[in-house]
Amino acid sequence: MSTEDRTYHTLLARHEAMRLRQQLLSPGGDPRTGRGGRTGRSSAEEAHDAAADRRIIMRDLDLVAPLDELITDLYRALFTRHPSLRSLFPASMAFQQEHLARAFWYLIEHLDRPEEITETFTRLGRDHRKLGVRPAQYAAFKDALREALRLRAGEHWSPELERAWTRMLRLGVTAMVRGAESALHEPPCWQATVTGHRLYGPDLAVLRLLPHETFRYRAGQHTALESARLPHTWRPYYLADGPGPGGEVEVHVRCTGPGGVSETLVRRTAPGDEVRLGPPKGDLTLGTEPLDTVRLVAWDTGWAAMKALLQELDGHVRRSPAHRVRRVRLFLGADSLSDLHDTEYLTGLEQRHSWLTVVPTAGRAPGEGMYDRLVLAVARSTPLAEGRTLVAGPPDMVRTVAAGLVHAGHPAARIVHDTLPPGPPVLPRFTEGHGTTGDFMPPGQQVPA
* pLDDT single digits (tens) 192-203: 999 999 999 899
Predicted confidence (pLDDT) at residue 46 exceeds the cutoff of 80 = no
Summarised one tens digit per residue, pLDDT across range 118-132 is 888 888 887 777 766
Mean pLDDT, residues 408-413: 91
Mean pLDDT, residues 135-143: 80
Global pTM reads 0.67
407 by DSSP, 3-state: which? helix
pLDDT interval class at 139 (50, 70, 90)? confident
Mean pLDDT, residues 165-183: 85
Predicted confidence (pLDDT) at residue 23 exceeds the cutoff of 50 = no
Mean pLDDT, residues 270-295: 86
CB 209 within 8 A of CB 194: yes
Q: Report the pLDDT value the prediction gives residue 223, as an integer from 0 to 100.
A: 93
Could you tell me the CA-to-CA distances from 107 to 54, 169, 231, 410 in Å, in that order?
9, 8, 28, 30
Of residues 224 and 46, more confidence is placed in 224
Predicted confidence (pLDDT) at residue 64 exceeds the cutoff of 80 = yes
Predicted confidence (pLDDT) at residue 181 exceeds the cutoff of 70 = yes
Catalogue all structural domains in the chain, each as residue range(s) with its CATH number: 10-19+38-182 (1.10.490.10), 190-277 (2.40.30.10), 293-431 (3.40.50.80)
Q: Strand 274-277 and strand 190-199: pairing? A: antiparallel
Q: Report the pLDDT value the prediction gives residue 290, as an integer from 0 to 100.
A: 63
Crossing angle for the helix pair 114-128 and 94-110, nearest 10 degrees?
A: 160
Q: Report the pLDDT value the prediction gives residue 404, as an integer from 0 to 100.
A: 92
Q: Report the pLDDT value the prediction gives residue 353, as an integer from 0 to 100.
A: 80
Of residues 45 and 143, more confidence is placed in 143
Q: How far is CA 79 from the centre of its chain?
A: 27
DSSP classification of residue 439: T
CB 248 within 8 A of CB 195: yes
Q: Report the pLDDT value the prediction gives residue 96, as an integer from 0 to 100.
A: 82
Q: Report the pLDDT value the prediction gives residue 21, as an integer from 0 to 100.
A: 40
Q: Report the pLDDT value the prediction gives residue 28, as an integer from 0 to 100.
A: 46
Mean pLDDT, residues 55-79: 92
Mean pLDDT, residues 104-131: 84
Mean pLDDT, residues 365-386: 86
Q: Report the pLDDT value the prediction gives residue 289, as an integer from 0 to 100.
A: 67
Q: Report the pLDDT value the prediction gives residue 204, as an integer from 0 to 100.
A: 95
Phi/psi at 62 (5° precision): -65, -15
Mean pLDDT, residues 364-376: 85
Cα separation, 107 vs 120, in Å, equals 10
User: Any residues with CB less than 8 A from the CB of 64 and at least 6 apart, and which?
Assistant: 70, 148, 149, 152, 153, 161
155 by DSSP, 3-state: which? helix
Q: What percent of the chain has pLDDT over 70?
A: 79
Summarised one tens digit per residue, pLDDT across range 243-263 is 777 899 999 999 988 888 999
Provide the sign of the torsion angle of the four alpha carbons 85, 90, 92, 96, taken in this order.
negative
Of residues 177 and 132, more confidence is placed in 177
pLDDT interval class at 436 (50, 70, 90)? very low
Predicted confidence (pLDDT) at residue 406 exceeds the cutoff of 60 = yes
Predicted confidence (pLDDT) at residue 136 exceeds the cutoff of 80 = no
Q: What percent of the chain has pLDDT over 90?
A: 39
Top-confidence range, 25-39, 271-285, 362-376, 424-438: 271-285
User: Any residues with CB less than 8 A from the CB of 356 and at least 6 apart, and which?
Assistant: 310, 328, 329, 330, 349, 350
